Amino acid sequence: MTETTKDEKLREKANNGYILLGVGGIMAFLPYTFIVICGLFAVIAGIIVSYNLRKSAEESNRLYQTHATWQIRTFWIANLVVFPVAMIINAILVSKFTVIGEIMNNALSGGYGMDISRLQSDFLVAEASASKNLILIKLATYGIALVWWLKRCYTGWTDLKNDDHPFGTDIDGSSPE
């Protein structure tokens, strides 16, 4: 295989990784279960492509190796830091700014006793009445996390298009030239 053909295949893998991660991230944020599941599969496929790209690029092509590392770091930083922090902030905001928080506190303090049907009924009524607040809280927490995710994907993709290393650095943080 010629060097050009190998570079084209590596570029295509890097491009596919960014597309899968970006589109999968958007799909995972939508409120439809089937689409969320498809989005999660797209993100998983994207990270598999990224690991495969990093292995394929090895030391022969640092450009694609840095893009693979960029994609992998985006995935792990998002899943170990960004999204868990968004979940915690989301739970705090829901408990403080909706009636659902009062129901949760009442349930935890034993206010419902063994009456699960009353708890369920109160929860469904509260959820319906607080739906606008729940949507705003979700956008404020997960929306910011999604914007971060998409910014990383877009930055990497445009750097790939311009034959640059993500943010102009190599894997070890040094300048590639």
Mean pLDDT for all residues in the chain: 87
In this predicted structure, what is the pLDDT of residue 170? 58
26-72 pLDDT tens trace: 998 887 889 999 999 999 999 999 999 999 887 678 889 999 999 99
Does residue 59 fall inside a structural domain? yes
User: How many domains does the structure of the chain reveal?
Assistant: 1
Cα 87 to chain centroid distance, Å, stands at 12
User: At residue 120, does pLDDT exceed 80?
Assistant: yes
Checking 40-47 for CB contacts under 8 A at 24+ apart, the result is 43/75, 45/20, 46/16, 46/17, 46/18, 46/19, 46/20, 46/21, 46/71, 46/75, 47/17, 47/21, 47/71, 47/72, 47/75
Output the CA angle 69-44-53, nearest 5 degrees: 35
Give the model confidence (pLDDT) of 63-112 as tens digits.
899 999 999 999 999 999 999 999 999 989 988 888 887 888 788 888 88
pLDDT attached to residue 169? 62
* C-beta pairs of 55-60 under 8 Å, 24+ apart in sequence: 56/9, 56/10, 56/13, 57/10, 60/6
Average pLDDT of span 157-164: 93
Residue 43 maps to a domain: yes
In a domain, 170, yes or no: no
pLDDT computed for residue 13 by the predictor: 94
pLDDT value of position 174:
59
In whole angstroms, give the CA distance from residue 145 to residue 166. Answer: 20
Q: Does residue 50 come out as left (phi exceeding 0), alpha (psi in the -120 to 50 range) or beta?
A: alpha
Q: How confident is the model at residue 155 (pLDDT cuts 50, 70, 90)?
A: very high
The answer as to whether 177 is a domain residue is no
How does residue 152 score in pLDDT terms, banded at 50, 70 and 90? very high
Q: Which domain holds residue 65?
A: 3-165
Asked if the structure places residue 101 within a domain, the reply is: yes
- The whole-number pLDDT of residue 2 equals 64
Task: Note whether residue 172 is domain-resident.
Answer: no
For residues 18 and 153, the answer to whether their CB atoms sit within 8 Å is: yes
DSSP state string for 27-49: HHHSS-HHHHHHHHHHHHHHHHH
pLDDT-derived band at 3 (thresholds 50, 70, 90) equals: low
Q: What is the pTM of this model?
A: 0.81
The pLDDT value recorded for residue 171 is: 56
